[in-house]
Chains A and B, each alone.
Chain A
Amino acid sequence: MNKPVDTPKKKFHTSPLKLNLRTKTILIIVLTASMLVAIVINSLFIDVSTITTNFSSINLPPSFEHLFGTDWMGRDMFTRTLKGLGLSIMIGALASIISTVVAVILGLSSGMNKYLDSFVSWLVDLFSSIPHLLLIILISISLGGGVIGVIVGVGVSHWTTLTRVIRAEIKQINTSEYVHLSKNFGKSKWWIAKKHILPLILTQVVLGVILVFPHAIMHEASVTFLGFGLSPHEPAIGIILSESMKYLATGVWWLAFFPGVSLLIIVLLFDLVGDNLQKILDPTNAHE
C-alpha cells in the first residue's frame, strides 16, 4: 500500500478526452432524441406505394441494396421496418401521453379528499389485477380494432404506476408546511393544486411520459403481433414479425431478425433517454 499521496482533486481529475458526467448525459439525451425524431420524420416521408411488390427479387438475403433483405413479395424490408418503427413510435407516444394524462388527473384528484383517494387506489388495484395484455385486447375489441383501439388500449392500461408515484408525491406535498399555510389563508384546493402541487409533479410527469414509452411501444408491438388492432397492410413491427412467422420454417431469418432488433434498439434508446433524464433531474444516485 505504498502509493503516493493523492490530493483530493487528483482522484476525481478527468482527462480531457473523458467528458464529465453532465456533458455526457446531455449529449446522450440530445443524440438519442434526435435519432428518434429522425426515424419518425423519415418514416413519414416514405410513401407506402414505394414499398412495391417486386416478384423478381423475392426472399433476398440482406445485401447493400436491401440492407434488411426482401420478403416473399420482394418488398424491401428496410423501408418496411423504418415505416413500421415510425408508426410504432407514434402510437407509443400517443399512448404514453394518454397514460400520463390519466395518471395526472387521477393522482391530483386523489389529493382532493379521502373518498376520492381510496377510490383511486381501488381503481389502481383493479387495473393492475387484470393482466395488461388481456386488458388491451378487451379494449381494442371494444373499440372495434384499428389504430385507435391499440392507442387507447395501451394508454388505458399503463397509468397505474405513474398514478401511484404522483399520489405518493402529492401526499408528501400536502403535509408540508407551505401548503398548510396556504390552506390557513383560505386558498381553494384547486388554487393550491395549481400553484404548489402541479409545478412540483411536473418533473414526474415528464419522466413519466418517457419511462412509460418503452412499455407502451412493446405492448403495442405485442398486440399487433397477436393480430389485434392494425390491419395487415399497415407495416407495424408487430405485423411484420407475425407475418415472418409463416416463413420461418423456410429459413428466411432476416424477416424476423432485423425488424425485431430495430425495435429493441428503439426501446433501448428510449430507456437511455429516460435514465439519463432522471439522472439530470434527480441526481442523488449519480455517482460515477
Chain B
Amino acid sequence: MIESENMKNKNMKSENLESRNITVTEKSEESKELLSVSNISISFLQYTKGLRKNLLKVISDLTLSVSSGEIVAILGSSGSGKSLLAHAILGILPNNADLTGEMTFEGKELDQKFKEKLRGKEIALIPQSVNFLDPLMKVADQVIGETVDEEDKKAKKAHQREVFEKYGLDEKVDDLYPFQLSGGMARRVLVSTALLQNPKLVIADEPTPGLDDVAIQETLNNIKQMAAEDRGVLLITHDINAALKVADKIAIFYSGYVIEIANVEDFTDDGENLIHPYTRALYKALPQNGFNLYKGHQPFHGELPEGCVYSDRCDQNTDSCMKINPDLREIEGKKVRCHRGHRKYSR
C-alpha cells in the first residue's frame, strides 16, 4: 500500500515563512509552530457514467499552520472534503488521490515515511464517528493496538485503563464492541484513543455532530484541555458555534479553497473585522446575529467559476473578481483570499 504522495515542492518557496511570526504573536512566548501546510492541493481521478474521466480537485492551494497550545479550526460545510486534509497530513489518502504542496512538522519536511513514523504517536486523529472502529473487535483490544508479548500487552492495557479512567470510561467499556457504545461514550473512547500516545498534534475530524448539548460541551472542553496541555489542535468542523467556542483561529473553507483565516476575536460585534464577504455572511447568518440567510449555494467541485469561487454570490463583485481567482494574502496578521479585502486594506 503506497500512498501516492509528493511532498517536495522546491518551487513554491512559501511566503508563509514570513507570516509565521505574525500569526503566532498573540500566543505565549514558548509556543512553537508544529505543523505547517503550504499550498496543498488534493485531487481525485474519477469516472462518471459512461467512463468519462474527470479530475476532481477537492482541496486547492491550502495554506495553514498550527502551533503548540493553539486550536485552529477549519470551518466548511459537511461533505466538502475538508476531512481529506486530515488524511493528507496522516498519509492515509486513498490510492487514487493526488497530493501536491509542502508540509512540515516541527520544521522537518513531512514526507510519507515521516508521516508513518509520526502517526499515532506525535500526530493523532480523533475520527468522525464510531464507524472508524473495527466493528468486530472489542474496544480495548483495538485501542491498545498490536502487542509483542504478554508483558507488553499488560503494560499497554494498564496505560489504556488509566487514560480511559481519566475520561470516565469504566472497565465495562473495555469489553464492549463499538456498536454497543452510546454516542457520548463513543466520543470519549475516540478522544482517549487519540491521547493514549501523548501526541503533540491532535486532529479532530468533526467531533460534534450527532451529540447532545452536554456531550458537545464535554467534547469541546476536552479539546480545550488538550490545548492547555500544550498540544496543537486542528479542529475540522462544520459547526461554527463549536469553532467559535474553542478555536484561536478559524480557517473558512469554501468550495475547496480556504478563503480566510481569521482570529476568533474578529467574530465579534458586527463582524466588521472579518474581511471576506462570505465570512461576514456566515457570521450574520448566526441566530444571535440576526439570522440573515445568504442566498445561493457553494459551487460543487468541478463546476467552479473562472474567477473568485465566491463571485457568483458576492454582493461586491468587480470585474477582476469574475476573471481572476485571488491568492491567499497576508493582511494585518490575517490571511484572506479576496480582491476587495486587498484593496480596502492596502488603501
Contacts and interface: CB of A to CB of B under 8 A. Distances in A.
A and B touch in the complex (CB under 8 A): yes
Contacts of B55: 8-9, 12
A3 B102 CA distance: 13
B8 A283 contact: no
B112 interface: yes
B45 A12 contact: yes
Contact of A1 (B11, B51, B113): B113
B279 interface: no
A3 B6 contact: yes
B14 to A, nearest CB: 14
B297 interface: no
What is the interface residue range for chain A against chain B? 20 to 34
Interface residues of B, number: 26
A22 B111 contact: no
A211 to B, nearest CB: 18
Most A CB contacts (10 A, CB to CB) among B10, B51, B53, B113 go to: B51
A22 B50 contact: yes
Interface in B64-96: 95-96
Contacts of A5: 6, 8-11, 100
A231 to B, nearest CB: 45
B47 A286 contact: yes
Contact of A283 (B10, B43, B48): B48
Nearest to B57: A8
Contacts of A15: none
A183 to B, nearest CB: 28
A280 interface: yes
Contacts of B41: 8
A283 B50 CA distance: 7
A12 B95 CA distance: 12
A196 interface: no
Contact of B4 (A11, A21, A25, A283): A11
A281 interface: yes
Contacts of A4: 8
Nearest to A14: B53
A20 interface: yes
B100 A7 contact: yes
Nearest to B96: A287
Nearest to B99: A8
B100 A12 contact: no
A279 B4 contact: no
B8 A3 contact: yes
Contacts of A8: 41, 43, 55, 57, 98, 100
A34 to B, nearest CB: 20
A273 to B, nearest CB: 15
A2 interface: yes
B295 interface: no
B172 interface: no
A280 B112 contact: no
A288 B52 CA distance: 13
A110 to B, nearest CB: 27
Contacts of B52: 22
B133 interface: no
A25 B51 contact: yes
Nearest to B111: A1
A6 interface: yes
B53 A11 contact: no
A283 B52 CA distance: 9
Interface string A1-41: 11111111101100000001110010000000000000000
Nearest to B45: A12
A22 B45 contact: no
Interface in B173-190: none
A7 B41 CA distance: 10
B304 interface: no
B97 to A, nearest CB: 10
B48 A1 contact: no
A12 B47 CA distance: 12
A281 B100 contact: no
15 contacts: A1-B8, A1-B111, A2-B8, A3-B6, A4-B8, A5-B10, A8-B41, A8-B55, A8-B98, A11-B4, A12-B53, A12-B98, A22-B52, A286-B47, A286-B51
Given A5-B11, A8-B98, 20 more contacts: A1-B112, A1-B113, A3-B6, A5-B6, A5-B8, A6-B6, A6-B100, A7-B100, A8-B41, A8-B43, A8-B57, A9-B55, A12-B45, A12-B55, A22-B53, A280-B51, A283-B48, A283-B50, A287-B95, A288-B96
- Pairs A-B, 7 closest by C-beta atoms: A22-B51, A283-B47, A1-B111, A8-B43, A286-B47, A8-B98, A287-B96
